[in-house]
Structure 1
Amino acid sequence: MEIDKLKKWMDAAHSFQSEDFWNNIFDSKQTSAAPFNPQTISDFFPKCDLFEEDNMLILEAEVPGLERDHLNISIQQQVLTIKGEFKSLQTNRKYHIKERANRKFKKELILPYPTVCQQIKTDIKNGILMIFMPINLEEVEDIPITFNSTDPE
């Protein structure tokens, strides 16, 4: 059993050492239309919390320094899409250290319930994007479960 765990750890460690892994992370030309790759940094950004409160879905997403002009939010068939672009590079500056890259991101989240799109509200405060989405209770249906009346004994 311990050898199996060690083998899994070695396989994971090996994937982080591959050149392809690091090229995917730092490849600024990667498009959002590319097939899902679990090793890309955009899959983890922005970090989000989605919770339910008073018949409302509330999403909180970390978007530090992002301006409203560089953000787009849409919902289509219970898929919430957040797209944006961080623009930190200033052409008239002489950088000694440049760790914050210009980058685009796209995050898609499948919502657990349909929402009333016309009543969605958004806010950005202290680098946290908040999206308030009323649950469309009219479209949530419970499906009755029936059991076979003959019990095999």
Structure 2
Amino acid sequence: MEIDRLKKWMETAQQYQSEKFWNNVFDSQNKSSPSLNPIKTVSELFPKCDLYETENELVVEAEIPGVLKENLHISIHHHLLTVTGEYKTLVQNRKYFIKERPNRKFTKEITLPYPVNIQKVKSEMRYGVLSIVMPINREKIEDIPITFNRE
């Protein structure tokens, strides 16, 4: 009886060690609706980011420890900042006793509150935090006049 329970436990543990299992759990390319798929919702929250404004700049800070520069991409299109990357932690032919850090791809999209000067954007990685500094393009901010009809 105990042997059967041990076998079931080993089969379950084996499942959690497979790369395919973890890719399915953290696959950000899943086409399911976020409201129907809680895993998708979790992946949308990752990486954790802060967006704040200084006097003349917008700054994003994103926690992405362990991501290599060659596995990271930053783009800005209109008012949308997109940070994509991939964690690569799984080493083939290695016998894992614990494997809690899966390979996973991520995409983080942040809508910027102001237009930015894309040619002057700077980014740097320090201690696992990606900082993106974007000068606000004040020339592109337009005030829309409001007219009132008096009757």
In the other structure, the counterpart of 2:84 is 83
In the other structure, the counterpart of 1:37 is 34
In the other structure, the counterpart of 2:56 is 55
The CA distance in 2 between the partners of 1:148 and 1:73, in whole Å, is 46
1:77 is matched by which residue type in structure 2?
Answer: H
The CA distance in 2 between the partners of 1:55 and 1:36, in whole Å, is 37
The CA distance in 1 between the partners of 2:104 and 2:68, in whole Å, is 13
Change (3 A) 1:123 1:51: same
Bigger drift between 96-105 and 137-146 goes to 137-146
Q: How does 1:1-153 map to 2 (within 5 A)?
A: 26-31=24-29, 34=31, 37-38=34-35, 39=38, 40=40, 41-150=42-151
The TM-score, its normalising length taken from structure 1, stands at 0.75
The TM-score, its normalising length taken from structure 2, stands at 0.76
State the shift of 1:30 in Å.
Answer: 4.8
The CA distance in 2 between the partners of 1:26 and 1:128, in whole Å, is 26
State the shift of 1:28 in Å.
Answer: 4.4
The CA distance in 2 between the partners of 1:29 and 1:122, in whole Å, is 26
State the shift of 1:93 in Å.
Answer: 2.3
Aligned-residue sequence identity (percent) comes to: 48
SS where residue 45 of structure 1 aligns?
Answer: coil
The structure whose RCO (Cα within 8 Å, separation 6+) is larger is 2
Give unmatched runs, 5+ long, in structure 2: 1-20
Q: CA RMSD in A?
A: 2.0
The CA distance in 1 between the partners of 2:64 and 2:32, in whole Å, is 24
Change (3 A) 1:30 1:117: closer
The CA distance in 2 between the partners of 1:102 and 1:44, in whole Å, is 17
SS where residue 42 of structure 1 aligns?
Answer: helix
The CA distance in 1 between the partners of 2:33 and 2:144, in whole Å, is 32
Bigger drift between 87-96 and 132-141 goes to 87-96
